[in-house]
Amino acid sequence: MKVEKASFDDINELRDLRLAYLNEDSGPLDEKDADMIRNTLPDYFRSHLNRDLFAYVVRSDGQIVSCAFLLVIEKPMSPAFINGMTATVLNVYTCPDFRHRGCARKIMQKLLTDAEEMKVSVIELKATADGYPLYRSLGFADNHGKYQQMEWKNPLFSNK
């Protein structure tokens, strides 16, 4: 099983895998949201892929069957991220027929090795119950800091 970084030739497959991930993670997307993602995500990938967004993939017979995204962000330095280089893992997804074969583990190992080389000081992710044991085994720890994670949603884009 070979893990590699996705290229611009993979943008349509990455879009489709993102949609599959979102449908599985959040339940079926409404058609308006799905169309917006389907139509705008390729431009996002063209602007960010292999610059500040790295997509790691495993292929079978030329098709991507597993992927994960690493979004690297430089922030003002702090003791929590001493050099300012942080990252977020997104969209860890394996097609159903290829699950429980170690794809996600191999991808995450490559992603973490590359993050070390990029001098990323902290990587965050949100773990599902299924993914939690994998991430713990790779060195991720629960964040029980003094801050409560919160979010604000722009009402122009929130239909929930």
Cβ neighbours for 59, distance < 8 A, ≥ 6 positions apart: 2, 4, 65
Q: Number of folded domains in the chain? A: 1
CATH assignment at residue 133? 3.40.630.30
Which domain range does residue 10 map to? 3-137
Asked whether residue 127 is domain-assigned, the answer is yes
Q: What is the pLDDT of residues 75-109, one digit of tens each?
A: 999 998 999 999 999 999 999 999 999 999 999 99
Contact 103, 134 (CB under 8 A): no
In this predicted model, which residue has the larger pLDDT, 135 or 26? 135
Asked whether residue 16 is domain-assigned, the answer is yes
User: What's the pTM value of the predicted model, to 2 decimals?
Assistant: 0.92
Asked whether residue 160 is domain-assigned, the answer is no
Report the C-alpha gap between 69 and 57 in whole angstroms: 9
- β-bridge mates for residue 66, sequence order: 58, 94
Asked whether residue 85 is domain-assigned, the answer is yes
Q: Are strands 85-94 and 53-60 parallel, antiparallel or unpaired?
A: unpaired
Predicted local distance difference test score (pLDDT) of residue 160: 53
Q: What is the pLDDT of residues 98-151, one digit of tens each?
A: 999 999 999 999 999 999 999 999 999 999 999 999 999 999 999 888 888 888
Asked whether residue 144 is domain-assigned, the answer is no
